[in-house]
């Protein structure tokens, strides 16, 4: 298996005079997409202090490399995440640390019928971060009133998420809002600075990933909020 890259800024500003400490708990994000999600979570990690994440809580991104880079089907991604828990290089503590697997549900809307089985299997040992139809939905929530202005009025089109050329509907909706190609421009990651807006707007929509068939759904903001509330006491 190819190696993974673990991205973190833990103790990045520590000095020789400051005692090095280990985090009590680490949250590892591993994502379906190789670009958009990576850029976003790297930025989220970079601003962890401004998010008031507890000093003993670390967040890290596991980047797939080489032949593993294109693993995206949710069941395979979950299996890959499980395998990384035994990777000594990332030092995953099975008693304390959490693996968060991030994937889109659009494939299940279109043709795959085993969504409930995938969720049940994945949640045995992991946290699942799901967007229906896609991660661009979560990014769209980073703009004030985008839920009311863009999402509600386009609910059916968003769920169908049909392609025009190589661009899906939700991708084009985000592009029109940002002017940024979310697949090719790392600047899309800067939206993490507005994560508080996304968390609040997400509460207006369905966050239950167990009941998302035919529903615009996202629970990523909910997961980020739970990390911010983790005080490392258990």
Summarize pLDDT for 46-94 with one digit per residue, the tens: 999 899 999 899 999 998 776 777 677 899 999 999 999 999 989 999 9
Instruction: Tell me how far apart the alpha carbons of residues 220 and 32 are, in angstroms, rounded to a whole number.
Output: 14
Give me the mean pLDDT over the 198-222 stretch: 97
- Encode 93-128 in three state secondary structure: CCCCCEEEEEEECHHHHHCCCCHHHHHHHHCCCCEE
Return d(Cα 46, Cα 169) in angstroms, integer.
30
41 or 20, greater pLDDT: 41
pLDDT one-digit tens code per residue, 136-163? 999 999 999 999 999 999 999 999 999 9
Give the pLDDT score at 13: 47
- pTM for the model stands at 0.91
Residue 206 vs residue 234, higher pLDDT: 206
Q: Which pLDDT does position 116 carry in this prediction?
A: 93
- Going from N- to C-terminal start, the domains of the chain cover 23-228
């Amino acid at each position: 298996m190819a190696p993974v890259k673990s991205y973190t800024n833990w103790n990045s500003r520590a000095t020789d005079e400051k005692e090095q400490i280990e985090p009590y708990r680490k949250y590892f994000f591993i994502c379906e997409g190789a670009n958009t999600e990576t850029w976003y979570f790297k930025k989220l990690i970079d601003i962890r202090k401004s998010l008031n994440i507890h000093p003993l809580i670390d967040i890290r991104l596991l980047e797939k490399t080489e032949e593993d880079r294109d693993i995206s089907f949710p069941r395979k991604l979950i299996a890959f995440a499980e395998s990384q828990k035994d990777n000594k290089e990332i030092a995953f503590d099975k008693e304390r640390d959490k693996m968060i697997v991030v994937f889109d549900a659009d494939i299940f809307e279109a043709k795959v019928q085993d969504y409930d089985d995938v969720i049940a299997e994945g949640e045995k040992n992991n946290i699942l971060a799901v967007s229906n139809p896609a991660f661009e939905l979560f990014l769209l929530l980073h703009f004030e009133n985008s839920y009311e202005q863009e999402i509600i009025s386009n609910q059916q089109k968003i769920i169908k998420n049909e392609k025009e050329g190589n661009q899906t509907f939700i991708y084009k909706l985000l592009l029109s809002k940002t002017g940024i190609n979310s697949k090719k421009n790392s600047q899309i990651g800067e939206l993490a600075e507005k994560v508080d807006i996304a968390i609040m707007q997400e509460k207006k929509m369905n966050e239950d990933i167990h009941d998302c068939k035919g529903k615009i759904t996202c629970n990523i903001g909910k997961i980020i909020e739970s990390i911010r509330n983790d005080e490392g006491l258990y």
